[in-house]
Amino acid sequence: MTCCLNPVCHNPPNSDGTMFCPNCGTGLVVLRNRYRPIKSLGSGGFAKTYLAEDLDKLKEKCFLKQFAPQIQETGAFQKAKELFEQEATRLQQLGDHPQIPTLLAYFEQDNRLYLVQQFIDGQDLSDELKQQGRFSEQQIRELLVDLLNILKIVHQHKVIHRDIKPGNIIRRSSDRKLVLIDFGASKQLTQTVMSEQGTIIGSLGYAPLEQMQSGEAYPASDLYSLGVTCFHLLSGIKPRELFNKQGYRWVSFWRQHLQQSVSQQFGRILDKLLQQDYHQRYQSAQQVLQDLNPPPLPSAVPPRVHLLPQPSSRSPATSAKQKGNLKLRGAILLLGLVGTQIYGYFRYEVFPFNPFLVGSPPSSFFLKSTLTGHTEGVWSVAISPDDKTLVSGSWDNTIRIWNLQTPELKSTLEGHTNSVYSVAITPDDKTLVSGSHDNTVKIWRMP
């Protein structure tokens, strides 16, 4: 089977051996003598998608996207062409992430642009919803963890997807992992906050207010669309239907559309994802992950204790006896103190002294400086033995090394791919060790 690549052909399938499409007369081609289109999968926006065979790889399947805008106005045509080219750039930029389709080729042939992508064998979540019915809270939690980890990588590359919805999320058949597709609407985030208004792109009902009103898009914009996607899968209701009736007001009352209740913790997460004002939403995928699965507090690292040398004249037996006497005296003193407190409380109904003030002399602490630079919470810090260097580990996946005397940032270490929960410096000031939620421990040589 060979498909006709004329974008306006009404009957593109043709049997093998046919040279010209009998429906429209267009010559049938194998692109670059390698990619043979075998089935039309539909069209959307400004592109048509085909299932194709890669003849150089034993007919391995791939997706073939053809730039075929249904518009004539020059400005709109140029913008559509720019977006098509940008999709190829974004896919190349994101590399070989296992949950983002790999770009295989991008070229022009017969005055038409083509983009070849890795074939994802699976079903999109829109079809899954139709077949299996509404998702449970647990299913949505698992979905969020999967997609948020993809978005972390996408946003770290300064890319905003701008069209997250069930139809653009495929569950891969081989491992049941979710794959985020269709970066045709994606945009490069050139600044921390986009100040210039852009083109209004996105799916009605899923796109946030700032994206639909002025074309602005931020990481928080993708998180809103992800929240709407979760609502759609939980409720079975298409967000576009609610948007057409209520605009953005429906997001304040999303719970009333559910057939089943959700936990308070999960409800708060969805509330924050669906805020109309993007400033009030989560600002990063990592922040949502932290609320979904707050990590256990790391064990406290005991401080280094420097023991005084014991006089050599004392025998081990004498030292053990003295330690035993000290423990006994300490226990007697502690019991006496506790007994006095209990007696005073029951006899006079007051403590003889305020227990909260014991050992608390007037504070003479003052703030020397505040170090800023991490974009997420700080989990751990360590100070070098010479008191000249501070090391901090953060949820933003980085380790920062500071000069305590200045104080200034000396360097940033970016080897971890997930939150850094612990850092430690060896007594000789030569080695730094870090532990991360990416299941690795890294050993660094100190400068």
| 109: CATH | 3.30.200.20
187 and 175: one domain?
Answer: yes
* Domain end point (choices 264, 292, 320): 292
Residue 273 has pLDDT above 90, yes or no: yes
pLDDT reported for residue 443: 94
Domain enclosing residue 128, as ranges: 122-292
Tokens of 87: 């999709």
Compute the distance between CA of residue 145 and CA of residue 286 in angstroms, rounded to an integer: 10
* Domain end point (choices 248, 264, 292): 292
Residue 314 has pLDDT above 70, yes or no: no
178 and 224: one domain?
Answer: yes
Torsion angle (degrees, nearest 10) of CA 162, 165, 167, 173: 100
253 and 211: one domain?
Answer: yes
276 and 154: one domain?
Answer: yes
List residues bridging with 134 in a β-sheet.
none
Residue 397 has pLDDT above 90, yes or no: no
Look at the chain and count its residues. Answer: 447
| 407: CATH | 2.40.10
265 and 201: one domain?
Answer: yes
Catalytic residue among 54, 124, 163, 182: 163
| 175: CATH | 1.10.510.10
Give how many domains the chain has, as a whole number: 3
Give mean pLDDT, residues 232-236.
Answer: 98
- Taking residue 98's Cβ as centre, other Cβ atoms within 10 Å add up to 10
Compute the distance between CA of residue 261 and CA of residue 67 in angstroms, rounded to an integer: 44
Are 145 and 209 spatial neighbours (Cβ–Cβ below 8 Å)?
Answer: no
40 and 112: one domain?
Answer: yes
87 and 169: one domain?
Answer: no
pLDDT reported for residue 355: 45
- Taking residue 114's Cβ as centre, other Cβ atoms within 10 Å add up to 24
287 and 174: one domain?
Answer: yes
91 and 127: one domain?
Answer: no
Give mean pLDDT, residues 135-157.
Answer: 95
126 and 105: one domain?
Answer: no
* Domain end point (choices 247, 262, 292): 292
Backbone phi, psi, residue 393, to 5° = -115, 140
181 assigned to some structural domain: yes
pLDDT reported for residue 325: 62
69 and 218: one domain?
Answer: no
| Active-site annotation holds for 110 | no
83 and 134: one domain?
Answer: no
- CB neighbour list of residue 298: distance below 8 Å, 6 or more residues apart: 379, 380, 421, 422
Residue 140 has pLDDT above 60, yes or no: yes
Please write the tens of the pLDDT for every residue from 336-362: 665 655 555 555 444 444 444 444 445
